[in-house]
A and B are shown apart, each in its own frame.
Chain A
Amino acid sequence: MSTRKIRVVIAKPGLDGHDRGAKIVARALRDAGMEVIYTGLRQSPEQIVAAAEQEDADVIGLSILSGAHLPICRRILELLGEKKIEGVRVFVGGIIPSQDIPELKALGVAEVFLPGASTEDIIRMVEGSAVSR
Protein backbone atom coordinates (compact mmCIF):
# COMPACT_ATOMS: atom_id res chain seq x y z
CA MET A 1 0.00 0.00 0.00
CA SER A 2 1.28 3.42 -0.87
CA THR A 3 1.42 6.17 1.72
CA ARG A 4 -0.56 9.31 0.99
CA LYS A 5 1.55 12.23 -0.16
CA ILE A 6 1.70 15.23 2.19
CA ARG A 7 -0.62 17.88 0.76
CA VAL A 8 0.55 21.49 1.00
CA VAL A 9 -1.21 24.73 0.05
CA ILE A 10 1.33 27.52 -0.55
CA ALA A 11 -0.37 30.92 -0.45
CA LYS A 12 0.49 34.59 -0.90
CA PRO A 13 -2.04 36.54 1.19
CA GLY A 14 -2.39 40.31 1.17
CA LEU A 15 -1.50 42.72 -1.62
CA ASP A 16 2.19 41.92 -2.07
CA GLY A 17 3.46 40.42 -5.32
CA HIS A 18 6.99 39.35 -4.31
CA ASP A 19 6.63 35.64 -4.99
CA ARG A 20 10.27 34.52 -5.33
CA GLY A 21 10.27 32.82 -1.92
CA ALA A 22 6.82 31.24 -2.29
CA LYS A 23 7.73 29.72 -5.64
CA ILE A 24 11.10 28.41 -4.50
CA VAL A 25 9.51 26.76 -1.46
CA ALA A 26 6.65 25.34 -3.55
CA ARG A 27 9.09 23.80 -5.99
CA ALA A 28 11.40 22.44 -3.27
CA LEU A 29 8.47 20.77 -1.46
CA ARG A 30 7.21 19.27 -4.71
CA ASP A 31 10.71 17.99 -5.52
CA ALA A 32 10.72 16.42 -2.03
CA GLY A 33 7.68 14.35 -3.02
CA MET A 34 4.80 16.41 -1.63
CA GLU A 35 1.61 17.40 -3.41
CA VAL A 36 1.84 21.19 -3.68
CA ILE A 37 -0.99 23.56 -4.60
CA TYR A 38 0.08 27.17 -5.19
CA THR A 39 -2.82 29.61 -4.87
CA GLY A 40 -1.25 32.47 -6.78
CA LEU A 41 -1.14 36.07 -5.63
CA ARG A 42 -3.37 38.28 -3.49
CA GLN A 43 -5.53 35.68 -1.82
CA SER A 44 -7.86 36.70 0.98
CA PRO A 45 -7.85 34.65 4.22
CA GLU A 46 -11.25 33.28 3.16
CA GLN A 47 -9.90 32.08 -0.20
CA ILE A 48 -6.85 30.46 1.41
CA VAL A 49 -8.91 28.55 3.98
CA ALA A 50 -11.36 27.46 1.27
CA ALA A 51 -8.43 26.17 -0.82
CA ALA A 52 -7.05 24.25 2.15
CA GLU A 53 -10.44 22.69 2.82
CA GLN A 54 -11.08 21.81 -0.80
CA GLU A 55 -7.61 20.34 -1.28
CA ASP A 56 -7.74 18.41 2.01
CA ALA A 57 -4.41 20.02 2.91
CA ASP A 58 -2.17 18.88 5.73
CA VAL A 59 -0.19 22.08 5.68
CA ILE A 60 -0.73 25.74 4.73
CA GLY A 61 2.43 27.69 3.95
CA LEU A 62 2.00 31.47 3.97
CA SER A 63 4.56 33.79 2.40
CA ILE A 64 4.31 37.31 3.87
CA LEU A 65 6.96 39.98 3.42
CA SER A 66 4.92 43.13 3.81
CA GLY A 67 4.39 43.41 7.56
CA ALA A 68 0.75 42.31 7.39
CA HIS A 69 1.43 38.93 9.06
CA LEU A 70 -0.38 39.48 12.38
CA PRO A 71 -3.85 40.51 11.14
CA ILE A 72 -3.69 38.00 8.27
CA CYS A 73 -2.61 35.01 10.38
CA ARG A 74 -5.12 35.91 13.08
CA ARG A 75 -7.93 35.85 10.50
CA ILE A 76 -6.79 32.60 8.85
CA LEU A 77 -6.52 30.74 12.17
CA GLU A 78 -9.91 32.10 13.26
CA LEU A 79 -11.46 30.82 10.02
CA LEU A 80 -9.87 27.38 10.43
CA GLY A 81 -11.38 27.28 13.92
CA GLU A 82 -14.81 28.51 12.80
CA LYS A 83 -14.96 25.98 10.00
CA LYS A 84 -13.68 23.25 12.35
CA ILE A 85 -10.89 22.33 9.94
CA GLU A 86 -8.64 20.44 12.30
CA GLY A 87 -5.10 19.21 12.06
CA VAL A 88 -3.95 21.64 9.38
CA ARG A 89 -0.56 23.02 10.35
CA VAL A 90 0.15 26.62 9.38
CA PHE A 91 3.70 27.72 8.53
CA VAL A 92 4.76 31.29 7.82
CA GLY A 93 7.82 32.43 5.90
CA GLY A 94 9.02 35.95 5.16
CA ILE A 95 10.12 39.15 6.82
CA ILE A 96 8.76 38.76 10.34
CA PRO A 97 10.08 40.90 13.22
CA SER A 98 11.34 38.60 16.00
CA GLN A 99 9.09 40.38 18.50
CA ASP A 100 6.02 39.10 16.62
CA ILE A 101 7.01 35.43 16.62
CA PRO A 102 5.65 34.61 20.13
CA GLU A 103 2.30 36.15 19.20
CA LEU A 104 2.14 34.21 15.92
CA LYS A 105 2.86 30.97 17.78
CA ALA A 106 0.24 31.83 20.39
CA LEU A 107 -2.26 32.26 17.56
CA GLY A 108 -1.44 28.72 16.45
CA VAL A 109 1.25 29.13 13.78
CA ALA A 110 3.42 25.98 13.87
CA GLU A 111 6.69 27.56 12.72
CA VAL A 112 8.06 30.82 11.30
CA PHE A 113 10.85 30.72 8.71
CA LEU A 114 13.01 33.82 8.46
CA PRO A 115 15.37 35.07 5.69
CA GLY A 116 18.21 32.61 5.14
CA ALA A 117 16.15 29.52 6.04
CA SER A 118 17.17 26.62 3.80
CA THR A 119 14.65 24.62 1.81
CA GLU A 120 16.10 21.52 3.53
CA ASP A 121 15.05 22.88 6.93
CA ILE A 122 11.59 23.74 5.61
CA ILE A 123 11.15 20.25 4.09
CA ARG A 124 12.23 18.62 7.37
CA MET A 125 9.81 20.69 9.47
CA VAL A 126 6.88 20.15 7.11
CA GLU A 127 7.52 16.39 6.94
CA GLY A 128 7.87 16.22 10.73
CA SER A 129 4.64 18.09 11.36
CA ALA A 130 2.61 16.03 8.90
CA VAL A 131 3.90 12.73 10.33
CA SER A 132 2.88 13.81 13.82
CA ARG A 133 -0.61 14.68 12.62
Chain B
Amino acid sequence: MSVLSVSGLVAGYSAADEILKQVDFDLAAGEIACIIGPNGAGKSTLLKAIAGLIRSSKGSITLNGEPIGGRAPREITRLGLAYVPQEHNVFPSMSIVENLEMGGYVEPGRVASRMDNVMQRFPVLQRKRRQAARTLSGGERQILAMGMALMVEPKVLLLDEPSAGLSPVAAHRLFEDIRAINREGVAIALVEQNASDALDISDRAYILVDGRNHRTGVASQIANDAEIRRVFLGG
Protein backbone atom coordinates (compact mmCIF):
# COMPACT_ATOMS: atom_id res chain seq x y z
CA MET B 1 0.00 0.00 0.00
CA SER B 2 1.22 3.49 -0.88
CA VAL B 3 2.19 5.81 1.96
CA LEU B 4 2.83 8.58 -0.53
CA SER B 5 0.97 8.97 -3.77
CA VAL B 6 1.38 11.64 -6.44
CA SER B 7 -1.00 11.71 -9.36
CA GLY B 8 -0.97 13.89 -12.50
CA LEU B 9 1.18 16.53 -10.80
CA VAL B 10 1.83 19.80 -12.64
CA ALA B 11 4.06 22.19 -10.70
CA GLY B 12 6.80 24.80 -11.04
CA TYR B 13 7.89 28.22 -9.91
CA SER B 14 5.18 30.02 -11.91
CA ALA B 15 2.24 29.19 -14.15
CA ALA B 16 4.36 30.15 -17.17
CA ASP B 17 7.22 27.94 -16.06
CA GLU B 18 5.81 24.53 -15.10
CA ILE B 19 8.75 22.19 -14.57
CA LEU B 20 6.64 19.14 -13.76
CA LYS B 21 4.25 18.68 -16.68
CA GLN B 22 2.55 15.44 -15.67
CA VAL B 23 4.10 13.20 -13.03
CA ASP B 24 2.79 10.14 -11.19
CA PHE B 25 4.73 8.73 -8.28
CA ASP B 26 3.97 6.11 -5.63
CA LEU B 27 5.98 5.14 -2.59
CA ALA B 28 4.94 1.95 -0.78
CA ALA B 29 5.44 1.47 2.96
CA GLY B 30 8.98 0.38 3.77
CA GLU B 31 10.43 0.73 0.29
CA ILE B 32 13.11 2.90 -1.28
CA ALA B 33 12.17 4.51 -4.60
CA CYS B 34 14.79 6.42 -6.53
CA ILE B 35 14.05 9.16 -9.01
CA ILE B 36 16.65 9.55 -11.74
CA GLY B 37 16.89 11.40 -15.02
CA PRO B 38 18.83 14.08 -16.85
CA ASN B 39 19.40 17.59 -15.48
CA GLY B 40 16.27 19.71 -15.63
CA ALA B 41 13.96 16.67 -15.68
CA GLY B 42 12.15 17.92 -12.56
CA LYS B 43 13.49 15.40 -10.01
CA SER B 44 14.23 17.92 -7.24
CA THR B 45 11.11 19.91 -8.15
CA LEU B 46 9.02 16.78 -7.51
CA LEU B 47 10.43 16.46 -3.98
CA LYS B 48 9.96 20.18 -3.33
CA ALA B 49 6.35 20.01 -4.49
CA ILE B 50 5.69 17.01 -2.20
CA ALA B 51 7.34 18.82 0.73
CA GLY B 52 5.10 21.87 0.18
CA LEU B 53 7.84 24.25 -0.98
CA ILE B 54 6.40 24.65 -4.47
CA ARG B 55 2.70 25.03 -5.19
CA SER B 56 1.22 22.60 -7.67
CA SER B 57 -1.30 23.84 -10.21
CA LYS B 58 -2.82 20.44 -11.04
CA GLY B 59 -2.83 16.91 -9.69
CA SER B 60 -2.92 15.48 -6.20
CA ILE B 61 -0.49 14.50 -3.47
CA THR B 62 -1.62 12.28 -0.62
CA LEU B 63 0.27 11.09 2.46
CA ASN B 64 -1.32 8.02 4.09
CA GLY B 65 -4.47 8.83 2.12
CA GLU B 66 -4.63 12.42 3.39
CA PRO B 67 -4.33 15.16 0.74
CA ILE B 68 -1.30 17.37 1.47
CA GLY B 69 -1.21 19.46 -1.72
CA GLY B 70 -1.18 23.19 -0.89
CA ARG B 71 -0.29 22.71 2.76
CA ALA B 72 2.58 24.58 4.41
CA PRO B 73 5.87 22.67 4.75
CA ARG B 74 5.64 22.68 8.56
CA GLU B 75 2.19 21.07 8.47
CA ILE B 76 3.49 18.35 6.16
CA THR B 77 6.42 17.74 8.53
CA ARG B 78 3.96 17.28 11.39
CA LEU B 79 2.17 14.57 9.39
CA GLY B 80 5.35 12.46 9.33
CA LEU B 81 7.11 13.47 6.13
CA ALA B 82 10.68 14.74 6.41
CA TYR B 83 12.45 16.41 3.50
CA VAL B 84 16.22 16.87 3.29
CA PRO B 85 17.17 19.51 0.70
CA GLN B 86 20.28 19.06 -1.42
CA GLU B 87 21.92 22.28 -0.22
CA HIS B 88 21.46 24.60 2.73
CA ASN B 89 20.14 21.66 4.71
CA VAL B 90 21.60 22.60 8.12
CA PHE B 91 21.69 25.76 10.26
CA PRO B 92 25.37 26.68 9.80
CA SER B 93 25.92 28.93 12.81
CA MET B 94 24.18 26.58 15.25
CA SER B 95 25.84 23.63 16.99
CA ILE B 96 25.07 20.02 16.08
CA VAL B 97 22.97 19.63 19.22
CA GLU B 98 21.01 22.79 18.39
CA ASN B 99 20.52 21.65 14.80
CA LEU B 100 19.07 18.36 16.03
CA GLU B 101 16.83 20.27 18.46
CA MET B 102 15.51 22.31 15.56
CA GLY B 103 15.04 19.06 13.62
CA GLY B 104 12.64 17.92 16.35
CA TYR B 105 11.08 21.35 16.85
CA VAL B 106 7.52 20.13 16.24
CA GLU B 107 7.74 17.60 19.10
CA PRO B 108 9.79 19.25 21.85
CA GLY B 109 8.88 16.66 24.49
CA ARG B 110 10.62 13.90 22.56
CA VAL B 111 13.78 15.73 21.52
CA ALA B 112 16.05 14.30 24.27
CA SER B 113 15.32 10.61 23.63
CA ARG B 114 15.37 10.97 19.86
CA MET B 115 18.63 12.90 19.98
CA ASP B 116 20.18 9.99 21.89
CA ASN B 117 19.01 7.60 19.15
CA VAL B 118 20.37 9.82 16.37
CA MET B 119 23.72 10.23 18.15
CA GLN B 120 23.97 6.46 18.61
CA ARG B 121 23.28 5.92 14.94
CA PHE B 122 25.76 8.58 13.83
CA PRO B 123 28.66 8.67 16.34
CA VAL B 124 30.34 11.51 14.43
CA LEU B 125 27.50 13.79 15.56
CA GLN B 126 28.10 12.73 19.17
CA ARG B 127 31.83 13.45 18.89
CA LYS B 128 31.30 16.90 17.42
CA ARG B 129 28.11 17.76 19.28
CA ARG B 130 29.22 21.26 20.38
CA GLN B 131 30.72 22.25 17.01
CA ALA B 132 28.95 24.66 14.69
CA ALA B 133 27.50 22.94 11.63
CA ARG B 134 29.50 25.22 9.31
CA THR B 135 32.72 23.52 10.52
CA LEU B 136 31.60 20.05 9.34
CA SER B 137 32.78 18.36 6.13
CA GLY B 138 30.32 17.81 3.26
CA GLY B 139 29.66 14.21 4.28
CA GLU B 140 29.18 15.12 7.93
CA ARG B 141 26.73 17.85 6.95
CA GLN B 142 24.66 15.35 4.98
CA ILE B 143 24.66 13.03 7.99
CA LEU B 144 23.57 15.91 10.23
CA ALA B 145 20.83 16.82 7.74
CA MET B 146 19.58 13.21 7.81
CA GLY B 147 19.86 13.16 11.61
CA MET B 148 17.72 16.31 11.77
CA ALA B 149 15.11 14.65 9.56
CA LEU B 150 15.07 11.55 11.81
CA MET B 151 14.28 13.74 14.84
CA VAL B 152 10.59 13.61 13.86
CA GLU B 153 10.68 9.81 13.38
CA PRO B 154 9.25 10.23 9.89
CA LYS B 155 7.22 7.61 8.06
CA VAL B 156 8.46 9.04 4.77
CA LEU B 157 11.89 10.55 4.08
CA LEU B 158 12.62 12.57 0.95
CA LEU B 159 16.33 12.88 0.15
CA ASP B 160 17.46 15.28 -2.57
CA GLU B 161 20.85 14.22 -3.98
CA PRO B 162 22.36 13.27 -0.63
CA SER B 163 25.64 12.11 -2.23
CA ALA B 164 26.25 15.32 -4.23
CA GLY B 165 29.77 16.59 -3.67
CA LEU B 166 30.85 13.63 -1.54
CA SER B 167 33.91 11.42 -2.10
CA PRO B 168 33.12 7.85 -3.32
CA VAL B 169 33.94 6.47 0.15
CA ALA B 170 31.71 9.02 1.93
CA ALA B 171 28.92 8.43 -0.61
CA HIS B 172 29.15 4.66 -0.09
CA ARG B 173 28.85 5.10 3.68
CA LEU B 174 25.90 7.43 3.20
CA PHE B 175 24.06 4.90 1.03
CA GLU B 176 24.64 2.28 3.75
CA ASP B 177 23.12 4.66 6.29
CA ILE B 178 20.13 5.24 4.02
CA ARG B 179 19.59 1.51 3.69
CA ALA B 180 19.84 1.10 7.48
CA ILE B 181 17.22 3.81 8.06
CA ASN B 182 14.95 2.12 5.52
CA ARG B 183 15.32 -1.27 7.23
CA GLU B 184 13.70 0.28 10.30
CA GLY B 185 10.54 0.87 8.30
CA VAL B 186 11.01 4.36 6.89
CA ALA B 187 9.89 4.69 3.26
CA ILE B 188 12.44 6.71 1.31
CA ALA B 189 12.19 8.67 -1.94
CA LEU B 190 15.66 9.40 -3.24
CA VAL B 191 16.69 11.80 -6.00
CA GLU B 192 20.20 11.05 -7.25
CA GLN B 193 22.65 11.94 -9.98
CA ASN B 194 24.66 8.91 -8.90
CA ALA B 195 22.13 6.65 -10.62
CA SER B 196 23.87 3.26 -10.36
CA ASP B 197 24.40 3.50 -6.58
CA ALA B 198 20.85 4.76 -6.13
CA LEU B 199 19.44 1.86 -8.17
CA ASP B 200 21.54 -0.58 -6.11
CA ILE B 201 19.80 0.32 -2.87
CA SER B 202 16.31 0.98 -4.29
CA ASP B 203 13.30 -1.27 -4.68
CA ARG B 204 11.67 0.82 -7.35
CA ALA B 205 12.88 3.40 -9.84
CA TYR B 206 11.27 6.31 -11.62
CA ILE B 207 12.93 7.90 -14.61
CA LEU B 208 11.78 11.44 -15.32
CA VAL B 209 12.50 13.25 -18.58
CA ASP B 210 11.36 16.83 -19.23
CA GLY B 211 8.87 16.88 -16.38
CA ARG B 212 7.12 13.61 -17.29
CA ASN B 213 7.39 9.95 -16.33
CA HIS B 214 9.66 8.21 -18.83
CA ARG B 215 9.99 4.74 -17.27
CA THR B 216 8.90 3.19 -13.98
CA GLY B 217 9.80 -0.25 -12.73
CA VAL B 218 11.63 -2.54 -10.36
CA ALA B 219 15.03 -0.96 -9.68
CA SER B 220 17.07 -4.08 -10.47
CA GLN B 221 15.31 -4.49 -13.82
CA ILE B 222 15.80 -0.85 -14.72
CA ALA B 223 19.47 -1.15 -13.75
CA ASN B 224 19.89 -4.09 -16.13
CA ASP B 225 17.95 -2.63 -19.05
CA ALA B 226 20.39 -2.13 -21.93
CA GLU B 227 18.78 1.05 -23.26
CA ILE B 228 18.52 2.63 -19.79
CA ARG B 229 22.14 1.71 -19.11
CA ARG B 230 23.24 3.35 -22.35
CA VAL B 231 21.21 6.55 -21.98
CA PHE B 232 21.12 7.18 -18.21
CA LEU B 233 23.89 5.14 -16.60
CA GLY B 234 26.75 5.91 -18.95
CA GLY B 235 27.03 2.46 -20.56
Our verdict on whether A and B bind, yes or no, reads: no
